[in-house]
Amino acid sequence: MLRNSDHSSEPDLLQLVAGGDEAAFATLFHNYRNKIYSIAYELSESHGVAEEIVQDVFLKMWQRRETLGEVQHFKAFLFTVTRNYVFSALKSMAQRKGLEQQAVAGMPTYYSDADNKLVQKEYAQILKKAVDSLPPKQKQVYLLVKEKGYTRNEAAAELQLSPETVKTHLAQAMRGIRASCLAQIDTLLLLLFLKYL
């Protein structure tokens, strides 16, 4: 998927980059930058995070440029590198904002309505499956606090637990949901790669 002005194939381009050719690397950057940005923005809904991911992905590629000449399936390689940085960013955002906001956040407007509804539904199913797989007490606490809006003290009174126990159950629930959702989001990320690359 080279620019029309480029007469070399992508394997040739990768060989040039592997040899340290900065112009070839700039062409590679031009070819894939917007696609990686779109995927990163779809999942993070943050321009800053998406830009960071683009920079990190291409920095990683430049640092590993000597190996690019051996890459047989560049898109699969790019998927793996991008996925790792997207997961890292999502984990960081989930810790800062709370996982449920990441799992059910509205998707960007350049999705078609049909695509948007499909992905929203998929995200909701991923979150529901993760919540349903929690141990009973963790699930009860999560549903009361995160879905019904109970305070920690209100949830403690409802469940006849101490507020500290509620806090512990909630923290454990969030960790479990985060791990489960991130594993399943891998599938969504692959679908986005198929859409954009």
The backbone torsions φ and ψ at residue 68, rounded to the nearest 5 degrees and listed phi first, read -65, -30
pLDDT interval class at 197 (50, 70, 90)? low
118 Cβ contact list (under 8 Å, min separation 6): none
Q: How far is CA 142 from CA 35, 76, 106, in A?
A: 36, 37, 21
Least confident residue range of 43-47, 109-113, 186-190: 109-113
pLDDT tens, residue by residue, 114-167: 444 555 566 677 778 888 889 999 999 989 988 888 998 999 999 999 999 999
Mean predicted confidence (pLDDT) in 9-31: 90
44: phi then psi, degrees, rounded to nearest 5: -100, -25
Q: pTM, whole model, 2 decimals?
A: 0.51
Over the stretch 55-80, which tens digit does the pLDDT of each residue have? 989 998 899 899 888 888 888 888 88
